[in-house]
Amino acid sequence: MVVEAAIATVSAARAHSLTLLAFGVDSIIELGSAFVLLWRLNLELRLGQEFSERTEILASKIAGALLYALAIYVVVSAIWSLLQRSGQEFSLSGLLVALVALPTMYWLSRRKLRVAEKLSSPALRADAIEAIACGWLSLVVVIGLLAQLLLRAWWLDAVTSVVIVYFLVREGREAWTGDECCK
């Protein structure tokens, strides 16, 4: 996740790509969520389940708020980009990191879901759901970058970044409300 986030955000800066930036920042938020999961499981082992569940709720709310903030930033930036009639440059490094993320996130999410089921862990299930969302984000990035390469349309980055907003808002809502834990 660290490599994915670093390559995506650096590629975004070089190519002026909102889509890659949203993908990279989402990866950073997902990485933070993984650290919270480890922290929560450690707290549960040391202090008991009740304390760790309160910590998980707070961390989920923070992650949800960050995802909502990212979604707002992407929408405002996409509108600004469309009004200014400015778009991204193609990013080979961004395409490669998204292509690698597709199968990696699929494999990782399946493994996390199996372990979450065995442990009856809502926290790990939530983390697996974030990996699934990252996989969908990867697909949107791949489609957007390939379309940019083939069509060279200045407006494509703004459009694909708005598609990513759907996933950011959905993931943010799930983190904020804890819905993914209850299904």
Give the count of domains, the chain. Answer: 1
pLDDT tens column, 28-76: 888 887 887 788 777 777 876 666 667 767 777 887 888 888 889 888 8
- pLDDT of 181 above 70: no
Asked whether residue 29 is domain-assigned, the answer is: yes
pLDDT tens column, 88-101: 788 999 999 999 99
Asked whether residue 183 is domain-assigned, the answer is: no
Residue range of the domain that includes 122: 2-178
Q: Kindly report each contact of residues 58-65 with a partner whose C-beta sits within 8 Å and lies 24 or more positions away, as own/partner.
A: 59/33, 60/126, 60/175, 60/176, 60/178, 61/175, 61/176, 63/29, 63/32, 63/33, 63/36, 63/172, 63/175, 64/172, 64/173, 64/174, 64/175, 64/176, 64/177, 65/172, 65/176
Question: Is residue 180 very low, low, confident or very high in pLDDT (cuts 50, 70, 90)?
Answer: low
What pTM was computed for the model? 0.76
Asked whether residue 154 is domain-assigned, the answer is: yes
Report d(CA 64, CA 169) in Å as an integer.
8
Asked whether residue 173 is domain-assigned, the answer is: yes
Asked whether residue 116 is domain-assigned, the answer is: yes
Asked whether residue 21 is domain-assigned, the answer is: yes
pLDDT tens column, 70-125: 889 888 888 888 888 877 788 999 999 999 999 999 999 899 889 888 877 766 77
Q: What is the CATH number of the domain that holds 90?
A: 1.20.1510
